[in-house]
Structure 1
Amino acid sequence: MQYDVVVIGSGPGGYVAAIRCAQLGMKTAVVERYPSYGGTCLNVGCIPSKALLDSSEHYHNLEKNFKTHGIEASGVKLDFGRMIARKEEVVKQSTDGIAYLFRKNKIDAFQGHGSFVDKNTISIKGEDGKEKTIQAKKVIIATGSKPSSLPFLKIDKKRIITSTEALTLKEVPKNLILIGGGIIGLELGSVYARLGANVTVVEYLDTIIPTMDKQLGKELLKSLKKLGINFLLSHKVTGASVKGKTVTLTADDPKGNKVELKGDYCLVAVGRSAYTRDLGLEKIGIQPEEKTGKVPVNEHLETSVEGVYAIGDVIKGAMLAHKAEDEGVYVAERMAGQKPHINYNLIPGVVYTWPEVASVGKTEEELKEAGVPYKQGSFPFKASGRARASMDLDGFIKVLAHKETDELLGVHMIGPRAADMIAEAVTAMEFRASAEDIARICHAHPTYTEVFREACLAATDNRPIHI
């Protein structure tokens, strides 16, 4: 069967690329090796983790915070099985939604492992071992990523687990050891800490969320400690073993002393690596990067082979679902002769802990390193009437603007609903707004977004109103 475009992978990048191609009149097919669509994000990543984050936050507030609001409850009981079941329901609704969108847009979907026979021929091998081929004028590689591990540490998926298994546990761990202080680990660590687990984070670096502005990491560390999470920073993991239902982890502290931790589960959250295995890339002359496994592409996301593109986690840049989506749209529109653009500097990053963390543009560290003249303004949520009303007092918003032009260069926030509020900053920076532009825009009162305005006032003339 002949197609204009075949997309390998149905994650956020793949399914969005396929839908946009179909909208533009291309005969489109998707090849997905797993039984459900949506890739890591919808099945074992963004969506299920957010479902558990919300459920666990409700439970935590009922146990710890509602009394302050004048709400007293007795006999509160955690039904963890039901919580996991609700998460599965959310996942199914989301993946079923992708199947509906494929039908609506007349996209043919094939289940099986896709690989190249040549640049215009894709082999699809099903679980039953049967194989068939389809023809494509153009191909988009959107196969995503898998959890990374440490070379000396064997993941058994029972006691030493990845984020995938952490989403389907049958019980709340009594003691959870978490390797890695990045986004994935901290989100899942928050879930289980709220549900009563004793969580210890072991991080090699001296900070958490190290890719974001350092002040965000310091503030999040304080908030998560209040939640009861323990942190061992600047600790190098040296090994882990399982005996019965106990995991023993060994590490070296900053002075080189040996540290031993015991838990009933150890969650390894040390990042993700591109999934490009067994795609037959060598048959068409594509050589993934040796260290990362990522596929090299040009500025138009085309590989070294004409007509073969790659998007999302398999190429350079942040491993974010929304980046992959934008790249999917970009490639589809390029194929149709349009001239889309992606501003990689303005792809926001978010951590869905509570408080939430969100960031866009340059960090203060990056501006200093590049020698860019800048000024900053910040404003704390504890000075916000809306935050006082909701008891969300942790965090701040920090604005970085060019010292001479006042153009916004970076916005970094930690606080309630930061994941949603960052969109205002992205919009402003896309249109090259100044800090004063935001400071002069009327923001509804009382809202959390007033904190962004106050931070911009602080950056403009050091004239915040409410502090």
Structure 2
Amino acid sequence: MDQFDLIVVGSGPAGRRGAIQAAKLGKRVLVIEQGKRVGGVSVHTGTIPSKTLRETALNLSGWRERGFYGRAYRVKQEISAEDLRRRLLITLDHEVEVLEHQFARNRVHHIRGKASFVDPQTMQVVKDDGEVLHVTGASILLAVGTKPFRPDYMPFDGKTVLDSDELLEIEDLPRSMVVIGAGVIGIEYATIFSSLDTQVTLIDPKTTMLDFIDKEIVEDFTYQLRDRNMKLLLGQKAEKVTRQDGKVELLLNNGRRIVTDMVLFAAGRMGATDTLNLAAAGLEADNRGRLSVNPETFATNVPHIFAAGDVVGFPSLASTSMEQGRIAARVAVGAIAKEPPKYFPYGIYAVPEISTCGLSEEEVKERHIPYECGIARFRETSRGHIMGLDTGLLKMIFSLKTRRLLGVHIVGEGATELVHIGQAVLNLKGTVEYFVENTFNYPTLAEAYKIAGLDAWNRMGDIKSEI
């Protein structure tokens, strides 16, 4: 029986960051990964594949150039599923190679196999060849991630009715697609396939989508989707889904029938905890397989067992999962863990991108904070003209009392990169004057910050900050 200071189950963003952090502190660390290669969901079916698919689709379709050359413009006239997969495989190989090198450089032990608890400190690992190992850890970090929710009433076949993991293995691009679920994953894939000129219909029982995003940003985003003929059937539910003659027929709760080439079911994910034998460790997951933790230390109700990443729920971002894993590992091995900065960015890699940091206008209203907004549209920047951008919006919210930035919200090309300027100002408690008085490279999309800052400053008046 091997003994370790920290056993990490899962090698996704939370697991790998936690393992490397503990190893850098001189601890003996073991990572257990049940997948064929290290990297977890993030590398193989989630973050990296979906973003690679997006980039490939935009490049091959000529999407970014259509503002100049028209909607009929294409870089490659006939785009196949194999075209998309070729770049994906190259990217995944690189990600795995980097991660394996990081483990080797930091002397992190890792084995392939399915892990489950024998008791609170002992885990059984069943390898592919049937060999069974037992390992013990002074502390254990569960970073097992999630898997797609697959309800019994959906006739999944991996070809015409798929979940988000199976979508990466399709053999042909569909001419039409229905996406069930208007959450982040559903919206990302729906807009990616729409950019490839697939006729996409998005269905969700809720009458709204992306409720955690500033409403004005969602309205702008929604307008762009409808403008390119995406069908948004919100407040409607698919009650029956049947496969027939290579097509899929959906019956909605309002009696509407839709026939399509492919259905992507992307309505939620489940924590991948069902095979861990949690009861043997004194743990219990909720009805979605998620674990409850202390939000500051990521410790479960069993003091030496921690959980981080998507398995603990919102925000379920690769970026925040990495920080959760790092903090959990430091606490687990007895090191000091500083609290991360208050504001972190949220990125949605749809077409167009959405990124946000800080308070939305709705949250500012709920807190009864006197405020003013500044707006800039990408077409107001010279770089926007150069890039042929007709759309894109940056919104900042400032306190009228302190003039401090409260939130930054962006929809458009490069939103997930641009947001970090606002994030830095937020965490450093900067004011509207930062954007008005500073110089930005010209021509850049980042100039939108100055335009939005001036817009807010003009509305606020030149009143001295009370900070």
TM-score relative to the length of structure 1: 0.92
Q: Which residue among 284, 287, 293 is the counterpart of 2:289?
A: 293
Mapping for residues 18-29 of structure 1, pairs under 5 Å: 18-29=19-30
* Corresponding residue SS for 1:401: strand
Distance between the aligned counterparts of 2:186 and 2:137, measured in 1?
39
Mapping for residues 3-402 of structure 1, pairs under 5 Å: 3-61=4-62, 65=66, 68=69, 76-150=77-151, 152-252=153-253, 257-289=254-286, 291-298=287-294, 299-334=296-331, 335-343=333-341, 345-402=342-399
Whether 2:450 is the aligned partner of 1:449: answer no
Q: Which moved more, 1:241-250 or 1:138-147?
A: 241-250
Question: What are structure 2's unaligned runs of at least 5 residues?
Answer: 462-467
Percent identity, aligned pairs only, is 26
CA 1:378–1:133: 2 relative to 1, 3 Å: same
Conserved? CA contact 2:236–2:252, under 8 Å: yes
Q: Which amino acid aligns with 1:25?
A: G
Once the 2 structures are TM-superposed, how far is the Cα of residue 396 of structure 1 from its aligned partner?
1.0
Distance between the aligned counterparts of 1:10 and 1:300, measured in 2?
19
Q: Which amino acid aligns with 1:294?
A: R
Post-superposition Cα deviations, 1:59-89, rounded to whole Å, max 9, x if no partner, equal 22279728639x9989833243132122122
Conserved? CA contact 2:343–2:358, under 8 Å: yes
Q: Which amino acid aligns with 2:289?
A: G
Q: Which moved more, 1:436-445 or 1:276-285?
A: 436-445
CA 1:456–1:151: 2 relative to 1, 3 Å: farther
* Corresponding residue SS for 1:346: coil
Q: Which moved more, 1:404-413 or 1:150-159?
A: 150-159
Whether 2:435 is the aligned partner of 1:434: answer no
Distance between the aligned counterparts of 2:64 and 2:319, measured in 1?
34
CA 1:383–1:187: 2 relative to 1, 3 Å: same
Q: Which amino acid aligns with 2:302?
A: V
CA 1:74–1:177: 2 relative to 1, 3 Å: closer
Q: Which amino acid aligns with 2:447?
A: E
Conserved? CA contact 2:141–2:308, under 8 Å: yes
Question: Which position in structure 1 is the counterpart of 2:410?
Answer: 413
CA 1:72–1:226: 2 relative to 1, 3 Å: closer
Q: Which moved more, 1:99-108 or 1:127-136?
A: 127-136
Distance between the aligned counterparts of 2:64 and 2:343, measured in 1?
38
Post-superposition Cα deviations, 1:167-223, rounded to whole Å, max 9, x if no partner, equal 121001011111122221222222222223111111222333332111121111222
Post-superposition Cα deviations, 1:245-289, rounded to whole Å, max 9, x if no partner, equal 11111213xxxx311111111001112222211212111211222
Once the 2 structures are TM-superposed, how far is the Cα of residue 15 of structure 1 from its aligned partner?
0.7
Conserved? CA contact 2:353–2:415, under 8 Å: yes
Distance between the aligned counterparts of 1:310 and 1:218, measured in 2?
36
Distance between the aligned counterparts of 1:341 and 1:367, measured in 2?
24
* Corresponding residue SS for 2:270: strand
Distance between the aligned counterparts of 1:364 and 1:177, measured in 2?
32
TM-score relative to the length of structure 2: 0.92
CA 1:235–1:169: 2 relative to 1, 3 Å: same
Conserved? CA contact 1:144–1:274, under 8 Å: yes
CA 1:161–1:79: 2 relative to 1, 3 Å: closer
Conserved? CA contact 1:8–1:31, under 8 Å: yes
Distance between the aligned counterparts of 1:186 and 1:270, measured in 2?
11
Q: Which amino acid aligns with 1:338?
A: I
Q: Which moved more, 1:26-35 or 1:452-461?
A: 452-461
Distance between the aligned counterparts of 1:127 and 1:80, measured in 2?
30
Question: Which position in structure 1 is the counterpart of 2:421?
Answer: 424
Q: Which amino acid aligns with 1:296?
A: S
Q: Which amino acid aligns with 1:274?
A: G
Q: Which amino acid aligns with 2:171?
A: K
CA 1:72–1:364: 2 relative to 1, 3 Å: closer
Conserved? CA contact 1:407–1:435, under 8 Å: yes
Distance between the aligned counterparts of 1:74 and 1:25, measured in 2?
51
Once the 2 structures are TM-superposed, how far is the Cα of residue 143 of structure 1 from its aligned partner?
0.4
* Corresponding residue SS for 1:34: coil
Distance between the aligned counterparts of 1:358 and 1:75, measured in 2?
29
Conserved? CA contact 1:172–1:196, under 8 Å: no
Question: What are structure 1's unaligned runs of at least 5 residues?
Answer: none
CA 1:409–1:463: 2 relative to 1, 3 Å: closer
Conserved? CA contact 2:347–2:353, under 8 Å: yes
Q: How many residues align?
A: 457
Distance between the aligned counterparts of 1:453 and 1:24, measured in 2?
43
